[in-house]
Amino acid sequence: METCNACIEKDENLRSDNVEFTKIEKVFKEKCNEMLENENILKQKEEELTQKCKVLEKENEILKQKCSANNNECLQKENVVQEMKKEYDVMKISYHTIKETYETSKSQMQRIQARLTKYSEMTRLLEAKYKGKKLVLNQYIDEVAELKRKMDEVEKDNNKLHSYHASSYILERIFNIKPDDNDSETNKKGIGSEYH
């Protein structure tokens, strides 16, 4: 029976080991159940996260499209801004060119204005000289007219004298008056004597 005692001891040992093993198995089963529950929870969370990822991917796609549209708008606006900058640069160059041309024209206008002022003064002086010379010329014309009038009067007097002389010659012929040497001087001083 000794052997049986040993067997009983072994059997008790095995039973205690079995109890421990059962406890461990129980704990293990509990842990496995917990792990299964955790796995289920994880699966549910994974599904939730998968759902959320799908939603986020859809939102991301929508945002990409919006960004792409916004990016296209931004690119278009950037192109417009670049075009406007080019136009601004061209306008700036044009402004400087026009400003230089204006300055040149302004200085030319000032020179022309100075020349016009000088020509106006010269014109006034020349007009004054012209008026003075016109007055002198009018005086000369008046003097010439007076001299012509006087010459006409002298011519008339001369013609009268010629006419008188011709009349005295005719009278001498008609009356047959011949002046002698003594009387010739006195006769000459008579009718038309200055022309004999």
Give every CB contact of residue 168 below 8 A, 6+ residues apart in sequence.
190, 191, 192
pLDDT at position 34 is: 79
- What count of other Cβ atoms lies within 10 Å of the Cβ of residue 114? 10
Total domains in the chain come to 1
Is the pLDDT at 74 greater than 70? The verdict is yes
Mean pLDDT, residues 35-56: 83
Residue 180 or 135, more confident: 135
* Domain extent at residue 56: 2-195
Find the mean pLDDT for residues 54-66.
Answer: 84
* pLDDT above 80 (res 175): no
Instruction: Please tell me the predicted confidence (pLDDT) of residue 189.
Output: 47
Determine how many CB atoms are found less than 10 A away from the CB of residue 55: 10
Nearest CA to 26 among 78, 174, 34? 34
Binning pLDDT at 50, 70 and 90, where does residue 196 land? very low
Residue 2 has pLDDT above 60, yes or no: no
HSE of 111 in the Cβ direction (CA atoms, 13 Å)?
A: 5
Q: Amino acid identity, residue 155?
A: E
Average confidence (pLDDT) over 41-59: 85
Task: Say whether 1 sits in a helix, a strand or coil.
Answer: coil
- Average pLDDT score over residue span 102-111: 88
The DSSP result for 3-33, as a single string, is: HHHHHHHHHHHHHHHHHHHHHHHHHHHHHHH
Distance of CA 62 to the CA centre of its chain: 50
Mean pLDDT to the nearest integer, 71-88 = 84
Inform me whether the pLDDT recorded for 187 exceeds 70.
no
Threshold 0.85, pTM exceeds: no
